[in-house]
Chains A and B, each alone.
Chain A
């Protein structure tokens, strides 16, 4: 019964995804699918961060960094030509084991690049390992220090992307090839594959959501919530707080990196702006609007806000909109906008007023 309750929204989402595709098909607005695909990938980052922030209570202002690690590594590995190094032992070994693919470039030259699957696994693994390494010391910190440390991590990744020739410096990496998941199923930005890619992206989202829903209803989820509630108390009750915090940090980093890999293949490139601080802040803003400990809220807000932003609805006020959202939500509705109960707000406002008046009369 409980399981059914958990999965009904997932089925509803599935129906919605198919419904929207059909609707765009019949109204001839297929171009919306491109932004919906992108929003879906960004939402994977958001729901990962949601579990870290909302359930684990650990803020991260560096998740664009993990996104960028995934995207940049996948992009660089599948784009840079290894032909000149063909005679090195390692490259020959990789070639023999099928980790490399040979192809022709635009001018008919020979190209030897890393197979996207191998690149994807490398990139996601790298992000996981980096998260595991820095997670130990970073997650010992709390509050402002944790925020600044993760922010600092994001800045370092941004700077590395901007200053390293291998990652294309300020231009980023372009002409990243498509990612053949299975024969006939390819993540790429080509026009004909738009509908297919829409479904790939949403399949990824749905799998991610199911995974996280199960996680937060498991022993791990309960442990995380106890950490959020009171870390010392959780510790005293025998919850290994530092281990759970680290697990969830690594998991959310892996989600971000995976999204980075897929977006890079879908867009055919990645630039340093994807690693920028503003991106990380944006993810945090979306989680906050969604209501922190609310995967569905984060997902809905992630799709809506990213879609509007990608469509250019906010124009040159794009960043300002996210800034205002952050402030307004945190000032008036720290539980997220899906939890607002206007009547309750009005009532509590008047009760505060009444209490103040009562105090005043008591004083005089």
Chain B
């Protein structure tokens, strides 16, 4: 493998990896405040991309993306309010089935609105053939957009959770819900907020990735599986580890293409998922003692 090709694969891996990481962080935000794995996480990414593409016909792209992200956030809030808010201590099995149902429903609605065709937003800068040269490899500027925007989001989220009072309240909710309630935090609103937030970052990722990876109604489950793999790989609930794990999975996948048939690419992530679940269910960076205390 030539160094140029190596860099090329590496960038492809980082691009996908950071998208997986964003999906994984979406999982983590909701898991931390509710203990629920939201199986419909991938659908937020799909909705963001698809709405932005439709809106782009009527308004400039920046505005279209903002509208798309807002709409997806509202959808996230609605999902939480309609399906989850009023359930009293539902069992995990029940929540799994409900969120799977939501994901199917979202996908079917998307199918009836947008049909089966594959769409894409235009490139933010230049077009399909524009490229910048990095260490001899030709990289599309859109790849840099994806990496930049996603990194900014990760950094922004860390700051939000660390320094704003709202972020602190959400973390308190994650640490101990009852104690948080006793401190006067409205935990129900925090749960809604966690859905809004994870819908929002999913939608942003869906928009920036759309020009290179394209968007269609059925992209959700695949992303959700990859995102979940990454979330587990990093240790459920740990967002910074998710970034590292996402990059790892993205790069493994990118290089696997040079060895295995493309059809097996998705099977690799799934195989890694199974392997991790069997060997280290608390993740590469998590502690097994802490994991054994959690309720899955």
Binding site for B on A (CB under 8 A): 57, 59, 61, 134, 137-138, 140-145, 147-149, 151-153, 155-156, 159-160, 162-163, 277-278, 281, 284-285, 288, 316-317, 319-320, 322-327, 330-331, 334
Nearest 9 interchain pairs by C-beta: A323-B104, A163-B263, A326-B101, A320-B108, A327-B101, A143-B296, A143-B92, A137-B278, A159-B267
List residues of chain B with CB within 8 A of the CB of A137. 277-278
Beyond A317-B108, A320-B105, 13 additional pairs, beta carbon < 8 A: A134-B274, A137-B278, A142-B296, A152-B271, A152-B277, A155-B266, A156-B270, A162-B263, A284-B100, A323-B101, A323-B103, A323-B104, A323-B105
By beta carbon, the residue of chain A nearest B91 is: A334
For window 80-133 of chain B, which residues contact chain A by CB distance below 8 Å? 83, 87, 91-94, 96-98, 100-105, 107-109, 112
Whether the pair B281, A141 counts as a contact (CB closer than 8 A) is yes
By beta carbon, the residue of chain B nearest A324 is: B105
Whether the pair B108, A319 counts as a contact (CB closer than 8 A) is yes
For window 119-171 of chain B, which residues contact chain A by CB distance below 8 Å? none
A85 to B262, alpha carbons, bound, how many Å? 30
Whether the pair A327, B37 counts as a contact (CB closer than 8 A) is no
List residues of chain A with CB within 8 A of the CB of B228. 148
List residues of chain A with CB within 8 A of the CB of B184. none
Whether the pair A144, B37 counts as a contact (CB closer than 8 A) is yes
Whether the pair A277, B270 counts as a contact (CB closer than 8 A) is no
Whether the pair A330, B264 counts as a contact (CB closer than 8 A) is no
List residues of chain B with CB within 8 A of the CB of A149. 273-274, 277-278
Q: In the complex, how many angstroms separate the beta carbon of A339 from the nearest chain B beta carbon?
A: 15
List residues of chain A with CB within 8 A of the CB of B87. 331
For window 18-37 of chain B, which residues contact chain A by CB distance below 8 Å? 37
Whether the pair B97, A284 counts as a contact (CB closer than 8 A) is yes
Q: In the complex, how many angstroms separate the beta carbon of B86 from the nearest chain A beta carbon?
A: 9
Whether the pair B267, A148 counts as a contact (CB closer than 8 A) is no
A-B contact pairs, 20 of them (CB 8 A): A59-B96, A61-B100, A141-B277, A142-B92, A144-B296, A145-B277, A145-B281, A155-B267, A156-B270, A162-B263, A277-B221, A319-B108, A323-B105, A325-B101, A327-B102, A327-B105, A330-B98, A331-B83, A331-B98, A334-B94
List residues of chain A with CB within 8 A of the CB of B103. 323
* Chain B CB within 10 A, most for which of A152, A319, A334: A152
* Chain A CB within 10 A, most for which of B92, B100, B107, B296: B100
CB of B3 within 8 A of chain A?
Answer: no
List residues of chain B with CB within 8 A of the CB of A145. 232, 277, 281, 296
Q: In the complex, how many angstroms separate the beta carbon of B264 from the nearest chain A beta carbon?
A: 6
List residues of chain A with CB within 8 A of the CB of B270. 152, 155-156, 159
Interface residues on chain B, size class: 35 or more
List residues of chain B with CB within 8 A of the CB of A278. 104
Given A143-B92, A149-B277, A284-B97, A327-B267 contact (CB < 8 Å): no
Whether the pair A148, B266 counts as a contact (CB closer than 8 A) is no
By beta carbon, the residue of chain A nearest B93 is: A59
List residues of chain A with CB within 8 A of the CB of B109. 320
* Chain A CB within 10 A, most for which of B87, B266, B274, B295: B274
Whether the pair A163, B105 counts as a contact (CB closer than 8 A) is no
List residues of chain B with CB within 8 A of the CB of A330. 94, 97-98, 101
Whether the pair B271, A156 counts as a contact (CB closer than 8 A) is yes
A327 to B107, alpha carbons, bound, how many Å? 14
By beta carbon, the residue of chain A nearest B270 is: A152
Q: In the complex, how many angstroms separate the beta carbon of B262 from the nearest chain A beta carbon?
A: 9
List residues of chain A with CB within 8 A of the CB of B271. 152, 156
A330 to B105, alpha carbons, bound, how many Å? 14
Given A143-B93, A149-B273, A155-B225, A322-B104 contact (CB < 8 Å): yes
Given A324-B105, A327-B102, A163-B261 contact (CB < 8 Å): yes
Whether the pair A143, B96 counts as a contact (CB closer than 8 A) is yes
For window 258-296 of chain B, which residues contact chain A by CB distance below 8 Å? 261, 263-264, 266-267, 270-271, 273-274, 277-278, 281, 295-296
Given A156-B271, A323-B101, A323-B104, A144-B266 contact (CB < 8 Å): no
List residues of chain A with CB within 8 A of the CB of B97. 284-285, 288, 326, 330
List residues of chain B with CB within 8 A of the CB of A140. 278
List residues of chain B with CB within 8 A of the CB of A285. 97, 101
Whether the pair B92, A327 counts as a contact (CB closer than 8 A) is no
Q: In the complex, how many angstroms separate the beta carbon of B290 from the nearest chain A beta carbon?
A: 15
A323 to B108, alpha carbons, bound, how many Å? 9
Whether the pair B83, A327 counts as a contact (CB closer than 8 A) is yes
Whether the pair B281, A281 counts as a contact (CB closer than 8 A) is no
By beta carbon, the residue of chain A nearest B87 is: A331
List residues of chain A with CB within 8 A of the CB of B273. 148-149, 152
List residues of chain B with CB within 8 A of the CB of A61. 100
Whether the pair B264, A159 counts as a contact (CB closer than 8 A) is yes
Given A141-B281, A149-B273, A149-B277, A159-B263 contact (CB < 8 Å): yes
By beta carbon, the residue of chain B nearest A334 is: B94
List residues of chain B with CB within 8 A of the CB of A319. 104, 107-108
A243 to B100, alpha carbons, bound, how many Å? 29
Fill in one digit per residue for B48-89: 1 if any A CB lies within 8 Å of its CB, else 0. 000000000000000000000000000000000001000100
